[in-house]
Copies of this chain bind each other. A is one copy, B any other.
Amino acid sequence: EKPGVNTIFSERELQTAAWIRDAARQDNLSYKILESLTTEVGPRMAGTPGDARAVAWAESKFKELGFDKVWKEPVTFPSWKRGVEKAEIVSPFPQPLAITALGNSIATPDNGLVADLIEFASLKDLVAAPPEKIKGKIVFINHKMQNSNEYGLVVPGRSSGASEAARKGAVAIIIRSVGTDSHRFPHTGVMRYEAGVPPIPAAAMSNVDADMVARMIKRGKPVSLKLELSSSANGSYTSYNVIGEITGSELPNEYVLIGGHLDSWDLGTGAIDDGAGCAIAMSAAEFIQRNRIKPKRTIRVVLFANEEQGLFGGKAYLEAHRQQISRIQAAAEADLGQGPVTKMSSFVRAEALPLVKQMQMVLAPLGIEAGDNNAFPGPDMGDLRLAGAASFGLALKADDYFDLHHTPDDTFDKIEPARINQAAATYAVFAWMAAQAPLHFGSGPELEKLNKK
């Protein structure tokens, strides 16, 4: 190593990083961890017995994998339970529909409710419509998500459609699933009631059913739907962020933060959302531990509690560690499926950019592009960035992610070893290089200010 030149990795470090890249890709641990989680725990919706089983699984898996430290930090949130969920077209063409309650939805009356549908092409159209057309009806938002880039465009209909509809007198809302598949699976996901607006039941139907209901509506007669939900709020629940560390050799109190969220929705087994992210982060750190190539700084893996219903784990982590933001060398969460990683972007102080460039060069042979210096580190780490944490965005290829996302079909058989192993290798390289870097990446007031520009 060349003393005095702090903004480049040494030749030897670059060789080690390249070795990690190539060897970790041949390693199948991420695949095996995910097989274990989906088979032995399966669905783990926040606040359910599956949540508690997942926490126990994670603690014991970290220990089995030889992490230096393993602990839990409490995360408390209001829990919600799913119940009966049924819908059918009552007239003019009686047929059952494949639907699911949206997370946080209240129940319908005991025997369900029946009303005519009114269709809107988007949330925007609902917002623009006159209340007199909506009063007493069930709002049907039929906004088709065309590809994985449209999640942000379409998802507001899921999160805030109910209150927009209720404000105009609707008795319930049922949306086209926010998803890109054409299978008869409804996609669940969280929704929110706006304060001061009466809550109404909220559900999603599969894309297949949305197409069918639209064909019925096109025939010109009123289409009447019966909806029955018994979902409800279920009191306060305390789950845990589960954390495992590989202790750094020189700067153990500074750490690279990687992870995923441990909770899933209840319909599938959470293989791609977000078992994959957990497995990628755990295996990346374990690979470094097993191969006795500890970097200077600590690598900390956080499996966040309850991301799905409101980023509760991420918020709790920030609250518990807010005083030590500057000890975070770099943060990156994996929460967009099984990989591969296609791009690496950063959010670091200018002095560290040459190091980022070297990291990108090591990763380039995996098909990973260099991104900008405005990275989003993932849902549970977004607030850390706002608080000043140096952040990385390791973009996962998501072209099929929203086919499976939040459906019963999010299961382990969809995982391809080559994809998840590439992502695990990428996280291993990233975590090792960031932890070994000859320079602090800048977490603290300087980066916090940069956020506010």
Contact = CB atoms under 8 A, between A and B. Distances in A.
A184 B215 CA distance: 26
A421 interface: no
A269 B95 contact: yes
A34 to B, nearest CB: 12
A35 interface: yes
Nearest to A98: B408
A413 B182 contact: yes
A184 B43 contact: no
A185 B411 CA distance: 12
Contacts of A408: 98, 184
Contacts of A216: 39-40
A312 interface: no
Contacts of A412: 211-212, 215
Interface string A85-98: 00000000111101
A43 B184 CA distance: 14
A49 B96 CA distance: 13
Contacts of A443: none
Contacts of A96: 43
Interface string A38-66: 11111100000110010000000000000
Interface in A394-436: 407-409, 411-414
Number of chain A interface residues as a range: 35 or more
A321 interface: no
A412 B41 CA distance: 35
A69 interface: no
A38 B408 CA distance: 24
A378 interface: no
A133 interface: no
A268 interface: yes
Contacts of A185: 183-184
Q: State the number of copies, please.
A: 2
A106 to B, nearest CB: 23
Contacts of A43: 95-96
A386 interface: no
A353 interface: no
Given A35-B215, A95-B269, A212-B269, A184 B41 contact: no
Nearest to A49: B94
A14 interface: no
A90 to B, nearest CB: 12
Contacts of A414: 182
Contacts of A42: 93-95, 212
A2 to B, nearest CB: 51
Contacts of A211: 412-413
A42 B414 CA distance: 30
A39 B93 contact: yes
Query: Which of the listed residues A50, A185, A208 has the most CB atoms from chain B within 10 Å of its own CB?
Result: A208
Contacts of A39: 93, 212, 215-216, 219
A417 B275 CA distance: 39
28 contacts: A35-B215, A39-B216, A40-B93, A40-B216, A40-B219, A41-B93, A42-B93, A42-B94, A42-B95, A42-B212, A43-B95, A43-B96, A50-B94, A53-B94, A98-B408, A182-B413, A182-B414, A183-B183, A183-B185, A184-B185, A184-B408, A184-B409, A207-B413, A208-B409, A208-B413, A211-B413, A212-B412, A215-B412
